[in-house]
């Protein structure tokens, strides 16, 4: 782990849930332990959110009352996704709650632990079962349940290290559809737990809330993909030798050339589950979400085995993609994704990083140049705020609980509060993408599948 770059700040008074930021003795609006504005009231948050068909005016979790300020439609989509992940699909309710709790215990974070612990209790766990989740042997749980809980831990601490045998054992115990849903569940847990920690989300008054049942009209969310804007900047400035982030030798343990070998190997690796034909699940997709069959293996797997979890995520991803696009650098944002894929040892997603850079306008030479720089210990091509963001992406992958309020403040100082929030949200979301890819060991497509995804024509071949 690269040493944390700490920005020295003055005038911060720390409380259990809030930070009061101010100068010269002045007290400003309350902020969370990570320095973000404190959650709105339920009433004020609902004034910003789209009107709901179901659940209008319900109590909202603290993270939703924080995101609603700048991302109301994204918040609506994430509320629907959270409810689906915590209540829907074929995973038995007790295993579903316990697996998310195991992930929270591994990652840490007061909100994640409190929320998932309450879900386990609501699902009917005995006291001995609840306490057994703190023991690697999981006493009090059946053999199939222990297999699921061990899988939850593996998906959290080393998803690339899950063996084909471990995955097959889970399929034997629960079947293909439930196992696939478990992959999506753990991908979501690792995304959402990081998000709530990075926000400093306080536990709701009176205890962590149960899943909030809401349903927003389709018109409130985004169905179409948002392609990169035309004329995006390309290339990197020349390295200047002013890299200001303390290096860690382990970061260069795999060179760019070695990663290219892993990417090529992923193109020949069989996916752990049979890849469904589009006709097998097309009827489960909302009209207009996918205008034609996609060659992206990711979609054939997640839509084919767990549409009730995959469709809400797709709504969330597309809605967020549209809402943040007004203040988001797609090429640098994809560089943050590259950092997470490197930390997660995920060649499938790294291959997709390269494809997305190409769609955004980078040439093969520029993609290789950027990847070589990112995989090196010299980031002087990037500005200091960008270097701090790259470091944040690494730490948020390896040891998220070590991310500090000072680092969050450095992101806000360097990018502004809105874009810093987008960096936090997207960097957390990348842990959904990478864990699904690693969990299924998805076979990487050989052609660039994202031109079709964004309804764009590829450039003519030279």
Q: What is the DSSP string of 109-172?
A: -HHHHHHHHHHHHHTT--HHHHHHTTSTT-TTS-HHHHHHHHHHHHHHH-GGG--HHHHHHHHH
Does 441 lie in the same domain as 374?
yes
Q: What digits encode the pLDDT tens for the residues 393-451?
A: 999 999 999 999 999 999 999 999 999 999 999 999 999 999 999 999 999 999 999 99
Decide if 5 contacts 411 (C-beta within 8 A). Answer: no
Tell me, yes or no, whether 59 lies in a domain.
no
Q: Specify if 20 maps to a domain.
A: no
Within a domain: residue 444? yes
Is 351 part of a structural domain of the chain? yes
How many independent structural domains does the chain possess? 2
Domain end, chosen from 148, 170, 199, is at: 199
The verdict on 331 and 383 lying in the same domain is: yes
Residues 155 and 278 in one domain: no
Asked if 234 and 191 sit in the same domain, the reply is no
What is the model's pLDDT at position 243? 73
Same domain? 230 vs 321: yes
> Does 130 share its domain with 250?
no
Round to whole Å and give the CA distance between 449 and 357. 12
- Asked whether residue 401 falls in the same domain as residue 330, the answer is yes
Half-sphere exposure of 340 (CA within 13 A, CB side): 33
Residues 277, 190, single domain; the answer is no
Q: Is residue 116 part of a domain?
A: yes
Closest CA to 61 of 206, 227, 198, 270: 206
What is the rounded CA–CA span in Å between residue 50 and residue 306? 27
CA distance 409 to 118: 31
Any domain includes 182 = yes
CA distance 337 to 390: 9
- Does one domain contain both 447 and 332? yes
Same domain as 222, residue 190: no
Domain residues for the domain of 124 are 85-199
Of 199, 229, 258, which residue sits at a domain end?
199
- Mark whether 274 and 339 lie in a shared domain: yes
Can you give the CATH number for the domain in which 181 is found?
1.20.1290.10
Q: Is residue 74 part of a domain?
A: no
Domain boundary among the residues 199, 230, 261 is at 199
Q: Are residues 401 and 288 in the same domain?
A: yes
Please report the pLDDT score of residue 460 as a whole number.
Answer: 80
Q: Which parts of the chain have pLDDT scores under 50?
A: 1-16, 18, 21-27
């Amino acid at each position: 782990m690269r040493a944390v770059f700490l920005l020295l700040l003055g005038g911060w008074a720390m409380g259990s849930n809030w930070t009061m930021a101010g100068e010269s003795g002045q007290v400003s609006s309350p902020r969370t332990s990570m320095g973000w504005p404190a959650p709105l009231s339920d009433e004020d948050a609902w004034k910003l959110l789209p009107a709901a068909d179901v659940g209008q005016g319900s109590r909202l979790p603290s993270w939703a009352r924080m995101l609603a300020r700048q991302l109301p439609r994204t918040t609506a989509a994430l509320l629907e996704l959270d409810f689906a992940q915590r209540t829907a699909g074929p995973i038995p309710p007790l295993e579903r709650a316990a697996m998310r709790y195991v992930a929270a215990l591994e990652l840490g974070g007061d909100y994640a632990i409190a929320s998932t612990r309450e879900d386990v209790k609501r699902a009917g766990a005995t006291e001995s079962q609840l306490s057994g989740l703190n023991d690697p042997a999981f006493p009090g749980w059946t053999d199939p349940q222990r297999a699921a809980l061990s899988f939850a831990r593996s998906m959290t601490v080393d998803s690339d290290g899950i063996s084909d045998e471990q995955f097959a054992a889970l399929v034997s115990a629960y079947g293909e559809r439930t196992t696939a849903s478990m992959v999506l569940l753990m991908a979501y847990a690792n995304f959402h737990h990081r998000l709530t920690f990075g926000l400093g989300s306080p536990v709701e008054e009176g205890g962590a809330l149960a899943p909030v049942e809401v349903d927003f009209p389709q018109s409130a969310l985004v169905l179409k993909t948002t392609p990169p804007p035309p004329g995006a900047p390309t290339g990197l400035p020349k390295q200047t030798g002013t890299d200001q982030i303390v290096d860690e030798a382990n970061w260069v343990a795999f060179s760019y050339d070695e990663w290219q070998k892993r990417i090529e190997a992923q193109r020949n690796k069989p996916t752990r589950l049979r890849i469904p034909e589009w006709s097998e699940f097309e009827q489960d997709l909302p009209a207009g979400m996918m205008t034609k069959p996609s060659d992206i293996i990711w979609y054939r797997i997640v839509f084919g085995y767990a549409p009730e979890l995959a469709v809400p995520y797709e709504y969330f991803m597309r809605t967020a993609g549209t809402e943040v696009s007004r203040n988001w650098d797609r090429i640098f944002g994809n560089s943050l994704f590259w950092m997470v894929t490197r930390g997660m040892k995920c060649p499938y997603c790294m291959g997709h990083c390269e494809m997305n850079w190409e769609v955004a306008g980078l040439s093969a030479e520029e993609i290789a140049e950027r990847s070589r720089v990112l995989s090196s210990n010299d980031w002087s091509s990037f500005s200091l705020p960008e270097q701090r963001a790259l470091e944040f992406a690494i730490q948020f992958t390896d040891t998220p609980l070590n991310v500090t309020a000072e680092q969050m403040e450095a992101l806000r100082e360097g990018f502004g509060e809105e874009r810093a929030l987008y960096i936090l949200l997207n960097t957390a979301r990348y842990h959904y993408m990478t864990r699904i890819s690693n969990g299924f060991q998805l076979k990487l497509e050989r052609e660039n599948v994202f031109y079709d995804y964004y309804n764009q024509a590829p450039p003519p071949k030279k």
